Structure 1
Amino acid sequence: MQRPAFPLSGQPAAATNPELVRVLGRWSLTALVVNAVIGSGVFGLPDDLVRFVGAAAPWAYVLAAAGIAIFMAVFAELGSQFKQAGGPYLFAREACGQFWGIQMGWFIWLVRLTAAAANTNLFVTYLGEFWPGATAPIPRIVIMASLLGALTFTNIRGIDRGARLANCLTAAKLLPLILLIVMGLWWSGPSWSQPSVTATPTGWLNAVLVLLFAFGGFEAALMPLAEGKNPRRDIPFALFTGLLVIAACYFLTQIVAMRTVPNLAGSERPLADAARTLLGPIGAAFIALGAMISTSGYLSAQIIGVPRQTYAMAERGDFPPLFASVHPRFRTPYISILIWCLLVLALAIYGNFMWNAVISAGARLVTYALACVSLIRLRQQRPHADAFRLPAGSVIALTGLALCGTLLAQMNLTHAAVISGIVAIASLNWFMVRRSPAD
């Protein structure tokens, strides 16, 4: 008889779940990092980077990778101190208490909601390669609602169905990028020069801010720490090896796009246009299909993981109890899944790809700032912890805090209002549950 995916709300997890098996080695964790990060950003941002910094766009990836390396270093030390599942939410809660754990949980949720909304928009944009009318207002809404509705229906009926769909889509998403890079680097046709754009400090900061969307997600590899063979040794290796692979892929993709697409800054589907130059309409269709697979694969993975994060927080008493509701027949957190779908659809309709990507990047900066504070606090609380320790770790964490503040200052008032609103909602959430016995 198959064991239910979830215990009933209120049942102790230990009574129904055996201990997790530690099977993930360093290369498996590295693959998790690469898979968690490479997604819609590489399909949607090459044109925006040219608008920000012109021909210097490939080097924006190098600058962003250097900034991300600071946060990866912080997460490497944090991850090596824990063997339990939970990731950033666990770090903040253990280091700084329930209030900051709840703030971290809400901002992680915002990161993933807006990232999913950005991916939903990009799916429709690349569908426009096959059906130009897809991007018109009414068809756009219908397509997004149908896509999210199908994923919701599949995942409410069972995690096994959702996981099989996510695995199939994930396996296919990297192939188009690899082929585009190989063909683009060997291409012997004329290289296009991009319009001259003066790369100002503001332009560079805006480029790095949006690239946080493309480089974000590595922290998802820290969620299954309870299934890692040796997290203290393998997490630092996985994070930095993954970063090198990701940065190289992004850098080369940007170069190929700039070589093959005239006026890249004006392209709506930059990688499809690059493939059109290399292989004609068939190439453009192939890359457009790859982008649609990548975005739908991301959404399939998110609808499995994110509702279960809110379910787990509700079970612990850190989130409204409604999110802990389990379907009586399918044994899935169906309320968490439904709320995820509705909020993603609302954000996707309200904002375009870039609006949601910037909100996601800004919310991610808040989570990185909380992680930096958590590192400083844990170093004070556990000065002799048996864990990987960064040289000058507190200085690195303070540098990360300064970088977060600098990049957050680039957001406009609308973006800042969303961030402030989540702080207020999370604070109200904490006020309502602060007497929870789970604390």
Structure 2
Amino acid sequence: MRTAERTPSSSSSSRTATTVTATPPNGKLPLLALLALATAVFITSLTETLPAGLLPAMSGDLGVSESATGQTITVYAVGTFLTAIPLTAATAGWGRKRLLLTSMAGFAVANTVTAVSSDYALTMVARALAGVAAGLAWALLVGYARRMAPAGLEGKAIAIAMAGIPVALSLGVPAGTFLGEVLGWRVAFLAMTALSVVVLGWIAAVVPDHPGQARGARAPMLRVLKVPGVTPALFVTTVFVLAHTILYAYIATFLDHLGMGGSADLVLLTFGIASLAGIWFVGAHIHRRLRALTIASALLVAASAAVFAVFSDSPALVYVAAALWGLGWGGVPTLLQTAVGQAGGESADAAQAMLVTLWNVAMAGGGVVGGLLLDGLGHFSLPWSVLLLLAPVLAVVVGARVHGFPAKRAS
């Protein structure tokens, strides 16, 4: 929905004019601006997951155990889900470009402090700051991409911006891990700082500004839950992400139990390449096929879990399962954020803030639930739990045919 449509009629004409001129007049997507957003998404995703590949070196320098160092990922997620909703409400009146630049500056500062710190407590504070910056960014980026797109191309714009997620997982983490092994883990985080500085200049140069909400137009954050379609879309988001994380967080352990621990990097590479294909396909068809693509994504991930559960004694079929998983999951962030944004309408930013919060809660919950299942029922319980959780996901998507995941695209 256009910002001009979200602004009350009493708003100044200059505010409306700013929004209109920011939309490409030739009906084409502003690729340079969208790629800047994709790079911001890449920074957000990679900053969160980079410590996973650098834990041994980080723990040695910080003088703590690897499990304690692993909490640098947890505190990032905690910083995000604790602050996304209140900060989005507090900054609702800010210009969107100012807010985006602020969040990217937060990443630059947090990654710099992480790179130079030799104190565990200071490192944890820096990682929490990065999580706060992520909360601001995630609540902002999807709506920003939608507003920059001509009518009818919003889904493609979001897909381009969200491409930073699979690129970070499939290429960024392995590259950051390699850089850390060759030059040291601190260099890997300093490289993230350098990329943040580059994207700050990129955003300043090519990304158009959009006004925030006028004070009279702001509704209480929780009121968005009463908007038809928002609650089912948020439910699907929470449960789908929980199901995915239960298996993804422990995929290396799962593969090790199958005797394929030495092939974990190749299995994840297969997942990552298939994810890129998935997000490309979703970006090409989301404008008219949001509902069908969401159902197809859930079915592909379910098929992957079924193969992992039943046919994991065949290494070849394990790779097939990884490919199905990536193909199904790659476009899910775009699909779910688009569904929540469209359902939210004039309260899209508030809905996105709730999505960010629930997404991170589901990720944290997936790690906890997956660990309990692994210890209590064994590694085969992980793919079976994914199948169990995807059943209500499919039921809600199929049932929300009027609002949330509509059978007919809104005009």
Class of the TM-score when normalised by the shorter of the 2 chains: 0.3 to 0.5
Larger relative contact order (C-alpha < 8 A, sep ≥ 6)? 1
Larger fraction in helix: 2
